[in-house]
Structure 1
Amino acid sequence: MKPPETDLQACPLCGRPLVPGPSVNEHHMVPRSHRGRDTVTMHRICHSKIHTVFSEHELARYYHTPERLLENDEIRKFVGWVRKKDPEYFDRNRTPSRRR
Structure 2
Amino acid sequence: MPGPSADEHHLVPKSEGGRDKTLVHRVCHRKIHATFSEKELAREYASWEALRGHPEIASFIAWVRKKPPEFYDRSVRPNRRR
**Residues in 1 aligned to 2:9 and 2:26: alpha-carbon distance in whole angstroms:** 9
> What is the number of equivalent residue pairs in this alignment?
81
Say which of 28, 52, 56 aligns to 1:74.
56
Say which of 2, 19, 29 aligns to 1:37.
19
Equivalence map 1:1-100=2 (5 Å): 4=1, 21-92=3-74, 93-96=76-79, 98-100=80-82
Secondary structure of the corresponding residue to residue 41 of structure 1: strand
Runs of 4+ in 1 over 3 A off after TM superposition: none
Per-residue deviation, 1:25: 0.4
Percentage identity across paired residues of the two chains = 57
The TM-score normalised by the length of structure 1 is 0.76
The one-letter code of the counterpart of 2:58 is R
Secondary structure of the corresponding residue to residue 26 of structure 1: strand
Deviates more, 1:87-96 or 1:55-64: 87-96
CA contact (8 A) 2:30 2:77 kept: no
1:59-84 CA distance string (max 9 Å, x none): 00010111100111110000000000
Runs of at least 5 residues in structure 2 that lack an aligned partner in the other structure: none
Q: Going by fraction, where is helix more abundant, 1 or 2?
A: 2
Secondary structure of the corresponding residue to residue 95 of structure 1: coil
The TM-score normalised by the length of structure 2 is 0.92
The one-letter code of the counterpart of 1:84 is K
Superposition RMSD on alpha carbons, in Å? 1.2
The one-letter code of the counterpart of 2:78 is T
